[in-house]
Structure 1
Amino acid sequence: MSHQFKPGDLALVTNHTYPPAIGLCVELVSRHLVGPVDRRDPMDPGVYEQEGGDPVWVVAEMEGESGAIVWEKWIMPLRGDFEPEQQKAKEVEPCA
């Protein structure tokens, strides 16, 4: 399912490599495209912007000031009925 996220949207973190982040309500700050993560050097964050990379969001926790980076595939929007606008069913008018 494709969502049209934008900065300021609220979202739920559904998965993360840092388990305490799962289930947090966050505000989306900025979207970036990043390359694969290199975990060989523990002091290197391994996340670098790359044209054509995978989408991630910088997020801010709703109940604190800390932030994180979350893969776009691991967030669920907290608005409407969780469906993109173009997929919502149109209301059927009753017959007279």
Structure 2
Amino acid sequence: MARSTAIQIAGGTSTRETSAWDATDFASWFERLGVTRGEAADLIGIGRSALYRYLTGEQPVPRTVELACRWVAVERGIKLPKAM
């Protein structure tokens, strides 16, 4: 998968609409996938600095990032709860 495929499918990285996910939910996603933070950033097509800001709560997780994460999980056969 190309670096930006998941985030492009989800609609880009617009921060206009925030996700229901918080930093804990975001961290739980890549732990469930069994990937490192760097691999997680690459999978969804965001920079490592953006990933860090979402994990620390410095910035809210955009809805498009949550959707990209969910898409990657589906592609890998990992079921996520509707509300994390």
Same fold per superposition (TM over 0.5): no
Higher RCO (C-alpha 8 Å, min separation 6)? 2
TM-score (norm 2): 0.27
Higher helix share: 2
